[in-house]
Each structure stands twice: as structure tokens, then as C-alpha cells.
Amino acid sequence: MPAPREIALEVNGRRQVLHLDPSAPLLMVLRNDLELNGPKYGCGLGECGACAVLLDGRAVRSCVLPLSRAEGRRVVTLEGLGTMEAPHPVQAAFIAEQGAQCGYCLNGMIMATVALLERNPSPSEAEIRDALAHNLCRCGTHVEILASVRRAVAERAA
């Protein structure tokens, strides 16, 4: 286990300097040291997507990334997108289309959608489904989630 050292990164627009083991999973640091609720532990293996955050704008699985991977980089979590009062357009689309049942996977779905729209503002249905293929939902909310993404696409174009 590497010795703790100072690691600086930007999280949700704020510079954070942490004195931690650089191999600590980014997910645990975000949740336990920065008290963020958005990214969730789902599998610890990068399989399910519940832990997704944006790293320099790309959706990554924070459960399998060491803190050092985020050093000097820009991390955005669900909290960094928007708030209850002023949600990000993608969050607003998921709320409007009721894109959650239990909602545990919701973080990953929203993050994957934000990243998708960044690189492809007008994805086809197949591209949406491909982009979410490795984000697992067990409640079977896929219909509402797809509707949420389509709404986000439409509102971005509008």
C-alpha cells in the first residue's frame, strides 16, 4: 500500500487537496472524504456503472480507478451537475420522464448520458442503447430511462 501523500484535484468545480493513499479507490474518496452521495458502490469491478463520475468530461467508473488517476484532473459527480432547485438538463429530463424506480443505478445513467451527449449531441436510438449497454438496471426501468435520454437529446437540440 503506497504511503499517503498530498493529492490535488478539482471536484465539482472546487480544488481539493487530500492527504491520502494514492491507490485508494476514487469512489471511496468521493463518498467518504468528500461526503458525496451521487456515485454509488455497485460491483467494485467496473461492470455495472453505478459509480460513474465524469473525469475531464468522460464517464469513468470510479470504483476501479485509484485516486491518483484523478490527480490534477477535473471530476464532476451527480452533485456537480445541478441541484434539486436547478437541475442539469439531463437530470431534469430524468425527473420529467421518471427515469428511476429504486434509483440506485440512476447516477450512472445520468452520468453516461451527460458524457454521451458531450461527444454525440444527437445520438440515434441504437447509439443510445449502445452507450448504456453496460449500465445495469435491475428494476427494469429501461423504458423510462431511454425516454429520459431521448428527452435530453431533444431539449438540447431545441
State which of positions 45-64 bind other proteins (CB under 8 A): 45-50, 55, 58-61, 63-64
Q: Which is nearer to other proteins, 98 or 154 (CB)?
A: 98
Closest C-alpha to 92, from 19, 12, 154, 2:
154
Q: Which of residues 1-40 bind other proteins (CB under 8 A)?
A: 1-3, 21-25, 28, 31-32, 35-38, 40
Q: Cα–Cα distance between 111 and 57 in angstroms, integer?
A: 10
Angle among Cα 103, 49, 46 to the nearest 5 degrees reads 145
Taking the complex as a whole, how short is the minimal distance between the CB of residue 35 and other proteins, in angstroms?
Answer: 7
Closest C-alpha to 54, from 9, 121, 20, 102:
9
Q: Cα–Cα distance between 134 and 149 in angstroms, integer?
A: 15
Of residues 11, 114, 117, 128, which one binds other proteins by CB under 8 A?
Answer: 128
Of residues 34, 44, 74, 150, which one binds other proteins by CB under 8 A?
Answer: 44
Does the protein bind other proteins through residue 41 (CB under 8 A)? yes
Q: Which is nearer to other proteins, 10 or 71 (CB)?
A: 71
Does the protein bind other proteins through residue 142 (CB under 8 A)? yes
Does the protein bind other proteins through residue 137 (CB under 8 A)? yes
Does the protein bind other proteins through residue 106 (CB under 8 A)? yes
Q: Cα–Cα distance between 78 and 39 in angstroms, integer?
A: 7
Q: Which of residues 82-101 bind other proteins (CB under 8 A)?
A: 82-84, 87, 91, 94-95, 98-101
Handedness of CA 63, 99, 111, 130 (dihedral sign): positive
